[in-house]
Amino acid sequence: MAAVEKYLKPEVINQIKRLDLRAQFVVKGFLQGLHASPFHGFSVEFSEHRRYSHGDDPKDIDWLVYAKTDKYYIKKFEAETNITGYLAMDLSQSMGYTHRQELTKFDYAICLAAALCYLMVHQQDPVGLITFDDRLRDCLAPKSKRSQLGNVLSHLANLKPTGQTEIAKCLTQIAAMLRHRSLVMLFSDLLGDPAEIMRSLRQLRHGGHDVILFHILDEAEVSFPFDGLVEFEDPETHQRVEVDATSFRQDYLQEITDFRQEFQRNCRQSGIDYVPLDTSMQFDKALLEYLLSRRARG
């Protein structure tokens, strides 16, 4: 079990190059770590039987079928209600930042998105993908087929964070685009105007959509591990700022904390799930957040 749980760690996942495997490992590692079924208590209905295989939970064995056929079959369930999920990926260049040159914010976001996609597809929830930077780039319509997982993952694997950021505008467009009540999972570093972003998020929420906001920052952006005289350059705007990092750390940490707390407060007021993350955190936190949100809607 411990061998699987290690895949929740970003540094371990980073060593796996294939995205589908990453997603699989993350989800399996996450599920293995849970003592109870994440779906237990969900409003699900029986869909079909399948042969028992090693590793399935013995409590799912349908003993009536066993009595009739003398073979182990386990019952498969189907969610009673389907939630259409959208993975909204921020493709801005800032998402490609990593201080330790290991896992970028974008990599972290993709890995997380893939894992969530994996989870959703396995629950027959239709899942789609929206990418944006300064405008909407791609949009995969949500489907619940198993082939959708491959589509989404292959699409995610090919994404490159290179654009400018216009999160607020793009969120407004997404809100206008979605017609049915959906679960929008937004993966972004939110490096833009927070007021405008919140306004757009509220629009999205106002459209009846559930929103989980995965606020992903680099570990360095959270802890500011710099010392001495440093000239920082914004990769998007190429603006430069020269500061004495040592003396600036407290100020910066205060700023970033304020920023996150502001978002958290606003999101709570708007009924948005706000998940602050950084690239050093394990994936289970994000997944658990999703499942809790999923349960709340089940």
Partner 1 sequence: MAFVNLSLLLGGICTAIPIVLHLVMRQKPKHLPFPALQFLQHRRETNRRTLQLRHWLLLALRCLAVAVIVFALARPSVDSTAVAGWLMSAGLLVTLGLVGGCLIFTLMQRKGRLLIGILAALSGLLLIALAVNTIGSLRTGPRVLLGDQQAPVAAALVIDSSPAMMYRYQNQTRLDVARETATWLIGQFSLESDVAVVEARPEPALFSVDLSAARKAVSRLQPEGGREPLPRAIRKALRLLATNDKARKEVYVFTDLTRSSWQDDQSGALRAALDDAREVTVYVVDVGVEAPRNVALSGLQLSAETLAGDNDLIVEAEVAAVGAGGQSRVELFVEEPDPDKPIIVDGETILPRAVRRDRHEIELAQDASKKIRFRVRGLPVGVHQGSVRLTQDDNLAIDNQRYFTVNVVESWPVLVVAPSGVNESLLTEAIAPFEYRETNRARFQCTVISQGDLENHILQNYAVVALVDPSPLTPTQWERMARFVEHGGGLGIFLGHNAAATTSFNSEVPRRLVGGKLARIWRSPERDLFLAPTRYDHPVLAPFRDQATSVPWDASPVFLHWVLDELGSNTTRVAALSNGKPAIVETVHGTGRVLTWTTPVSDPLRPAGRTCWNELPTSEVNWPYFVLINETIRYLAGTNDQRLNYLVGETVQIPNQTGAYPDRYDLFPPHDEPLDVTAHQDLLTVRATDRAGAYRLKGFLGGPVARGFAVNLAPRESDLRRLSRVQLDELLGKDRYQLARNKDEIVLEVGQARVGREFYPYLMVLLVIVVGLEHLFANRFYRQPT
Q: Would you tell me which residues interact with partner 1 (CB under 8 A)?
A: 93-94, 97, 99, 189, 191, 217-218, 220-221, 225-237, 239, 241-244, 246-248, 251-252, 255-256, 259
Closest contact distance (angstroms) between CB of 230 and partner 1 is 5
Closest contact distance (angstroms) between CB of 108 and partner 1 is 14
Closest contact distance (angstroms) between CB of 54 and partner 1 is 46
Instruction: Read off the tokens for 277.
Output: 């993350």
DSSP letter at 280?
Answer: T
Q: Phi, psi at residue 97, to the nearest 5°?
A: -85, 135
| Tally of residues, the chain | 298
Closest contact distance (angstroms) between CB of 170 and partner 1 is 17
Closest contact distance (angstroms) between CB of 100 and partner 1 is 12
Judged by CB, which is closer to partner 1: 20, or 133?
133
Q: How far apart are CA 65 and CA 86, in angstroms?
A: 38
Judged by CB, which is closer to partner 1: 157, or 245?
245
Q: How far apart are CA 158 and CA 54, in angstroms?
A: 35
Judged by CB, which is closer to partner 1: 78, or 244?
244
Judged by CB, which is closer to partner 1: 71, or 265?
265
Residues 161, 278, 25, CA angle at the centre, nearest 5°?
80
Closest contact distance (angstroms) between CB of 203 and partner 1 is 23
CA 221 to the chain's CA centroid: 19
Judged by CB, which is closer to partner 1: 47, or 257?
257
Asked if 167 and 184 touch (Cβ cutoff 8 Å), the reply is no
Three-state secondary structure call for residue 212: strand
Secondary structure tally for the chain: helices H, strands E: 11, 10
CA 236 to the chain's CA centroid: 23
HSE, side-chain direction, 13 A CA sphere, residue 190: 28
Judged by CB, which is closer to partner 1: 84, or 93?
93
Asked if 116 and 85 touch (Cβ cutoff 8 Å), the reply is yes
Cα→Cα distances 79→48, 57, 93, 143, 220, Å: 12, 18, 38, 15, 40
Closest contact distance (angstroms) between CB of 48 and partner 1 is 48
Judged by CB, which is closer to partner 1: 78, or 258?
258
